[in-house]
Amino acid sequence: MFGASIGRAATRIINAMVRWLAYGGVHPNILTVIGVLISIACGILFGLGHFFSAGIVLIVANVFDMLDGSVARETGNVTKFGGFLDSSLDRISDMIAFIGIMVFYASNTPQRSVTNVFLAGLAMMSSVMVSYTAARADSLGVKANVGFLQRPERIVLLIIGALSTWNWDSDFFLFNRMPQVLWVLAIGSTWTFVHRMFHTWQEFRKLEGKNRDLGQGNE
């Protein structure tokens, strides 16, 4: 019940912001660009080791990511280019965050870790491929939005890892959880990518089977 109340309150706030932005005539594509610029700031903060601040900025960036589509629908500015722009810049936003994390763990600090650099790189590559496979399959007539670690889940995990990291010297078990988050992101994103590849293969086999049956039926 408490969680539902928070969800309703957040929805009301988002809806009020959407109405205010629509009334002000703000174009949704501008919100999309602002969101990616904020994501760049997030990546810089990750690279500098300010993980907690990066987590806060990541939340703000994703608020803009939610607003652009809603404002587009509210103002009737839903366009194919807007959808293309949003999807393309989302990939940049995702990669920037991981690049910032990789830069930090590759830097000459006590937290330097080749393992974490590798995990962040694998998570970045797999995350992009998860999105690409869905888009590519959709362009060929197959829906491939399957898998348990899609973009919202990845963003939430990154935020959790970032917000838990504000005192590098603390031994408290809830602090500095980004390395564990990277393991989940790397393995989960790779598994989701493989799942989507397998799912798409199955769907194409079904379509090919139907086409063969139709062809034989018309003989």
pLDDT of 118 above 60: yes
Q: What is the mean pLDDT of residues 14-19?
A: 79
Q: Cα dihedral angle (139, 198, 157, 181), rounded to 10 degrees?
A: -140
Domains within the chain, CATH numbers bracketed = 2-217 (1.20.120.1760)
Q: What is the pLDDT of residue 207?
A: 81
Q: What is the pLDDT of residue 97?
A: 95
Q: What is the pLDDT of residue 2?
A: 38
Active site residue 94: no
Residues in the chain: 219
Catalytic entry in 68, 90, 94, 171: 90
Q: Is 115 exposed, middle or buried (0-12, 13-18, 19+ CB in 10 A)?
A: exposed
Asked if 67 contacts 12 with a C-beta cutoff of 8 angstroms, the reply is no
Q: d(Cα 165, Cα 70) in Å, to the nearest integer?
A: 32
Rounded to two decimals, the pTM is 0.84
59: confidence class by pLDDT, cuts 50, 70, 90: very high
Query: pLDDT of 168-216, one tens digit each?
Result: 777 777 788 999 999 999 999 999 999 999 999 999 888 877 666 555 5
Q: What is the pLDDT of residue 186?
A: 96
Q: What is the mean pLDDT of residues 126-138?
A: 91
